[in-house]
């Protein structure tokens, strides 16, 4: 049974993530202890609320360093919702820019849509070699709740983007619903709230551990 640590950095939603991962077949611990988090087979970085507040919480427990250290050893990390957003270079909320962890280029910005937050079950478009979405029907729906998203990649010169698999969804405009980047993966939606579809996705992730 894979061992997973859900990173406890003051962001809500920990219990849901913990229970859903257990349901998908993991042994789960909620912790901010670096040794525990380093030793786990997988690390989950959840997140709800504001980008800047999550980032502040993450820095307080040294979560940025933890993510870096795990990825340097090619050990899996899964970001969820704002836990995905903070992996980008920056987040722009109410016109104010906050710095992110910077694993991926570009900004997380307000979605341009008639109704916000984007709240409810939506489909995604995943590449055929996707790991997280393997074996899933294209009309599978996941539960989203967010007003901000990465709306595309700002590619930098020499950035090795080919290893990244981008999964897209649409609400008003296309945005990144998930990214698979070697050991680092993330979803903008909430797999822990996405019923059977979310369970299938978490099982797919656990299989990579």
Residues that bind other proteins (CB under 8 A): 12-13, 15-16, 19-20, 23, 48-50, 114-123, 139, 141, 143-147, 170-171, 190, 192-195, 198-199
Give the start-end residues of each E strand in the chain.
Answer: 3-7, 27-31, 42-45, 77-80, 88-93, 96-99, 104-110, 118-123, 141-146, 148-150, 165-171, 173-181, 184-187
CB of 155 to other proteins, least distance (A): 26
Nearer residue to other proteins within complex by CB, 9 or 70? 9
Nearer to other proteins, 104 or 189 (CB): 189
**2 vs 191 by CB, closer to other proteins:** 191
Q: At closest approach, how far in Å is the CB of 16 from other proteins?
A: 6
Query: Whole-number minimum distance, CB 194 to other proteins, in Å?
Result: 7
The reply to whether 65 belongs to the active site is no
Q: Is 192 known to be catalytic?
A: yes
- The Cα 136–Cα 121 span in angstroms is 15
Catalytic residue chosen out of the listed positions 118, 146, 171, 190: 190
Distances (CA, A) of 150 to 54, 91, 129, 170, 182: 16, 9, 22, 12, 19
Q: Which residues have CB under 8 Å from 47's CB, separation 6+?
A: 11, 13, 54, 79, 80, 81, 82, 83, 84, 85, 86
Neighbours of 12 (CB within 10 A): 11
Among the options 54, 81, 109, 171, which is catalytic?
A: 81
48 or 101: CB nearest other proteins: 48
Residue 158: CB minimum distance to other proteins, A: 35
190 is an active site residue: yes
Residues annotated as catalytic (active site), given as ranges: 81, 190, 192
């Amino acid at each position: 049974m894979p061992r997973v640590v859900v990173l406890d950095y003051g962001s809500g939603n920990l219990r849901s993530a913990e229970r859903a991962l257990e349901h998908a077949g993991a042994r789960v611990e909620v912790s901010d202890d670096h040794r525990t988090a380093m030793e786990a087979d997988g690390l989950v970085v959840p997140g709800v609320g504001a980008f800047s507040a999550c980032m502040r919480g993450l820095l307080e427990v040294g979560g940025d360093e933890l993510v870096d250290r795990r990825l340097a050893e090619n050990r899996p990390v899964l970001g969820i919702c704002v836990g995905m957003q903070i992996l980008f270079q920056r987040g722009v909320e109410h016109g104010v820019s906050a710095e992110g962890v910077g694993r991926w280029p570009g900004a997380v910005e307000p979605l341009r849509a008639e109704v916000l937050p984007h709240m409810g079950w939506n489909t995604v478009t995943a590449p055929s070699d996707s790991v997280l979405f393997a074996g899933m029907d294209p009309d599978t729906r996941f539960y989203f709740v967010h007003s901000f998203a990465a709306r595309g990649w700002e590619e930098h010169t020499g950035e090795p983007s080919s290893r990244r698999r981008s999964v897209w969804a649409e609400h008003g405009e296309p945005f990144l619903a998930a990214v698979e980047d070697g050991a680092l993966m993330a979803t903008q939606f909430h797999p822990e709230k996405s019923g059977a579809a979310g369970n299938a996705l978490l099982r797919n992730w656990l299989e990579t551990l």
